[in-house]
Structure 1
Amino acid sequence: MPRFAANLSMLYNDVDFLDRFAAAAREGFKAVEYLFPYAYPAPELATRLQANGLQQVLFNAPPGNWDAGERGLACLPGREAEFREGIAKAIEYAQALQCPRIHVMAGLVPQGADAATVRATYIANVRYAAEQAAPHGIQILLEPINGRDMPGFFLSRQDQAHALIAEIGAANVKVQMDLYHCQIVEGDLAMKVRQYLPTGNVGHFQIAGVPERHEPDVGEINYTYLFKLLDSMGYDGWIGCEYRPARGAAAHATSDGLGWLKPWL
């Protein structure tokens, strides 16, 4: 049976962030993920997890200056020192939250940058992150993101991510397979799952409806079919619910849109 994690950066936006843990637990979620934990002390987040019987299954490493539009540092030549500081901070939080996965965002390709240099920087940085994370039993995840939502992002395709993993050569580097992004970029989702899940290189799934990124029962993807497929293939990891409720931040917007989840809890 698929297991679902509430993405607290996108869900329950009608309450303060720290109150979203309890909101997710009340709905039956057993796990959570979110973009970044760094605005809060790790012990405070750990307390919320424990109080609500939740597992932390994923968050992102520091992305650079998010408010200025940066979307990760891994592919940016000349930012290696900042990248390494961010990895150290992410691992510190992951240990405190008992979180086994850190998503390392690739970043936007700098204008005019040499493609070979950007790729080499990315590979070296991810290798470093993997080396630092491995002794703690932490996986480093790479996520292909569609160019409509994030123009210029270094990593956009599943085959690209799996080729990079082969070159990086670290057992704890996995793909974060977001089916929303995958559908927008390349489609053929069931065949992609059948192709890549058996490799052992998919560490996490995420979902959202396409094209609006609302609830997964809205839009062009038949998620019921895909959930049954994942079940039949023996996937026992987590599926992150990284979507924007169709009713926005209105009161109970998340709860009112969770009808799709009830059969799976």
Structure 2
Amino acid sequence: MDFTQNKDDPHGVQRLLGILRRQQDSSSSPSAPAPSSAAPSSSSFAASNPFSTSSSSTAPTTTTYSHPESDAAVRRRTYNSSSKYTPTTATDPFDPYSFNPFSTSSPPLPAPIPTPPKPAAPRDLSSLSFAESLPILSTLSSDRTLLKRLSALRTEQHDLERRLTKDYRQFAATADKQYPQPRARRDEDERRRKDILRRWDACVKRQQEELRRAGVPGIRVTSEKRECDKQRRIVGVLAEMMDEGE
């Protein structure tokens, strides 16, 4: 045993290298001369490296490394071919114009519910002409309640006419004595005539309102001459109906 060598090599590195060289030489050809211990070959350093991936054979072994890009491509193909991640195909093709209301491929919008027509407003009977009022007047001829009301209105009118006539005649008979001055007599006469017309107009308006409420066509409260003439003709027909019913 060489103790000197151990002193120079306290960790046994040289001894380990020698053992490795001898193992390398024994695996090689027996006829090959042993290499000098002073100059170890590169193969012996490779054999002495415990982390080396090469085997005891002298022929170098090629190690294959996988490229990162190829591995990623394989994983993508695996992901795409997996049925778990395969998206389901829609039965109907996608139509980019399906949301366009003017597209012919979009379903038609439901028709709006038609608004029921508003009931026609009843025609205002007061606007009817004399000819249009005749058919309605013929149906009113059998309304006894209406005929009685018309008879009462006619009686009130006759009473007012007699009363106004009597009052004016009394004034005319005594006007010369009461108002000896001609100017004063004329002023009083004008005042009494205006009062008679005012009371008569009030009576006519009251009759028009009563006839309108009773449903007599062509009658409304007015002082227009054409309308008043039409109403006189209608009242004349009603008067004949009352005379026939009495």
TM-score normalised according to structure 1 size:
0.19
Q: Which has the larger radius of gyration?
A: 2
Q: Which has the higher strand share?
A: 1
Bigger RCO (CA 8 Å, 6+ sep) = 1
| Bigger helix share | 2
User: Scaled by the length of structure 2, what TM-score is found?
Assistant: 0.20
